[in-house]
């Protein structure tokens, strides 16, 4: 790393807290990432316009996904890419098409569970509402009601004496939040309320993608404030680090690759969408970048053959109360540096060569790193790494930051790991 590139420290973690709080939905996360990239000199391209082959930073936005890249001066059409992959979505509760419901004097909002949500973490928590509204002219408007608005009340222990022996929640019956009182449930009430919050007329709203979020702010935790508690670390922690790293390397000289950030939506439910890693978005953007620089199919093939992707997503730190659930020889710890994820059944895409790439990046950045592998009796999770490798034929390595309470409404990481990750990504992208 050259001295011209700032090295991230705990100030990066402070900034992460700001990013988490300002990004209650994938659409907000993308908008905030785009704002940061624009400040670093990147410009937004439209997918419907013709692209030129000029150098500099560029990005495209599609829904809750963002692809950004930096073309160095004089880069050939066959110049390989260095990609940081991440995702913008998190498990939560999302508003149904007909949201107005209620019973017994309570007004409720009909929601659907999204992704592998830890349902109990949404109980008895002050919740806001955020997302995007689609207007009749096809444009979108972000909305964020970031104050206590909804609550999913848990049944009192007096009415469920066995609750501490095992809480069972029905997604349809038990997870519908309340947001007021009233006997009459009127269709359109919620949309009228949200439209008013966004400064719009409800009649102009043709559709919506809304979701609930905890309004509790991210916070340092612990005797020595060495821990960070907050929402949506899976996986906005990686998105934030990727944006910071891409902006940093764009200011460097002598780049021998085209650094890329690919922040996808819908990872938590399988990535099968036009904004997910299963879709063609990344491949289309990379190909258009090659062609815009005057390349053809042969240049595209050469560029892809030399490309490497670090798929960055959170992983499991060893849990002190459930250590037996982890592999006995692999116990990643918070503040121990980013983790290298390995699964021989290809739930992660890492191989020995990928290990060498990641180790070299961490060594260059002077950050520690750790190995992660699942207990043989525990099903292994997955992420966008294997999808990216299989769909595009791109060499991919799965990495991340070790956290506790994954998929909770509020997760926990170490305060040093976010900037360790960002520094490793800078070294990799260079």
Strands 315-316 and 402-403: parallel
Q: What whole-number distance in Å separates Cα of residue 229 and Cα of residue 300? A: 43
What number of other Cβ atoms are within 10 A of residue 245's Cβ?
A: 27
> 141-165 burial by CB neighbour count: b if 16+ within 10 A, else e?
bebbbeeebbbbebeeeeeeeeeee
326 annotated ligand binder:
no
281-292 and 297-305 helices, crossing angle to 10°: 120
27/63 Cα distance (integer angstroms): 7
266 marked among binding-site residues? no
Q: Which residue has the tokens 């070790």?
A: 402
Closest CA to 359 of 261, 427, 259: 427
Q: Is 87 annotated as a binding residue?
A: yes
> What sign does the CA torsion over 288, 66, 8, 316 have?
negative
Residue 338 C-alpha from the chain's centroid: 16
Angstrom distance (rounded) from CA 331 to CA 319: 9
What is the spatial distance between Cα 14 and Cα 418, in angstroms, rounded to a whole number?
A: 10
Q: How far apart are CA 326 and CA 266, in angstroms?
A: 27
Whole-angstrom distance, CA of residue 392 vs CA of residue 349: 13
Contact yes or no for 178/107 (Cβ under 8 A): yes
> How far is residue 353's CA from residue 337's CA, in Å, rounded to a whole number?
20
Q: Concatenate the DSSP letters of all residues of 84-133 into one string.
A: EEEE----EEEEEEEEEEEETTEEEEEEEEESS--GGGGBT--EEEEEEE
Q: How far apart are CA 407 and CA 177, in angstroms?
A: 19
State the CB neighbour count (10 A cutoff) for residue 1: 16
Provide the annotated binding site. Answer: 87, 158, 407
Provide the annotated binding site for Zn(2+). Answer: 87, 158, 407
């Amino acid at each position: 790393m050259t001295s011209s590139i700032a090295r991230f420290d705990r100030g990066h973690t402070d900034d992460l807290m700001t990013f988490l709080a300002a990004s209650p939905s994938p659409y907000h996360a993308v908008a905030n990432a785009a704002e940061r990239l624009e400040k670093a000199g990147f410009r937004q391209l439209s997918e419907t316009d013709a692209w030129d082959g000029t150098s500099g930073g560029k990005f495209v936005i599609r829904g809750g996904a963002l692809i950004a890249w930096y073309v160095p001066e004089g880069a050939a059409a066959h110049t390989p890419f260095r990609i940081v992959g991440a995702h913008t979505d998190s498990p939560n509760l999302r508003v149904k098409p007909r949201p107005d419901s209620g019973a017994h004097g309570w007004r409720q909002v009909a929601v659907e569970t999204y992704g592998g949500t830890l349902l109990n973490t949404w109980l008895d928590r002050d919740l806001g509402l955020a997302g995007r509204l689609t207007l009749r002219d096809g444009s979108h408007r972000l909305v964020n009601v970031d104050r206590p608005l909804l609550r999913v009340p848990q049944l009192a222990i007096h009415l469920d004496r066995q609750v501490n022996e095992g809480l069972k929640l029905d997604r349809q019956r038990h997870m519908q939040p309340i947001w007021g009182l009233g006997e009459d449930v009127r269709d359109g009430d919620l949309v009228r309320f949200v439209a008013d919050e966004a400064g719009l007329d409800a009649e102009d709203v043709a559709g919506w993608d809304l979701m609930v979020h905890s309004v509790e702010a991210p916070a340092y935790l612990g005797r020595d404030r060495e821990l960070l508690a907050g929402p949506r670390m899976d996986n906005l922690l990686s998105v934030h680090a990727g944006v910071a790293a891409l902006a940093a390397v764009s200011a460097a000289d002598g780049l021998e690759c085209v650094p890329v950030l690919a922040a996808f939506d819908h990872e938590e439910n399988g990535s099968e969408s036009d904004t997910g890693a299963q879709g063609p978005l990344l491949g289309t953007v990379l190909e258009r970048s090659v062609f815009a620089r005057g390349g053809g199919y042969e240049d595209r093939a050469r560029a892809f053959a030399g490309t490497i992707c670090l798929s960055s997503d959170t992983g499991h730190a060893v849990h002190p109360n459930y250590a037996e659930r982890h592999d006995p020889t692999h116990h990643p710890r918070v503040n121990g540096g980013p983790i290298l994820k390995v699964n021989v059944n290809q739930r992660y895409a890492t191989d020995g060569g990928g290990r060498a790439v990641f180790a070299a990046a961490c060594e260059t950045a002077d950050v520690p790193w750790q190995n992660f592998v699942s207990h043989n009796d525990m099903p292994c999770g997955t992420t966008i790494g294997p999808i990216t490798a299989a769909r595009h034929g791109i060499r991919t390595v799965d990495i991340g930051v070790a956290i506790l309470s994954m998929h909770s409404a509020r997760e926990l990481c170490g305060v040093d790991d976010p900037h360790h990750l960002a520094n490793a990504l800078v070294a990799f992208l260079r």
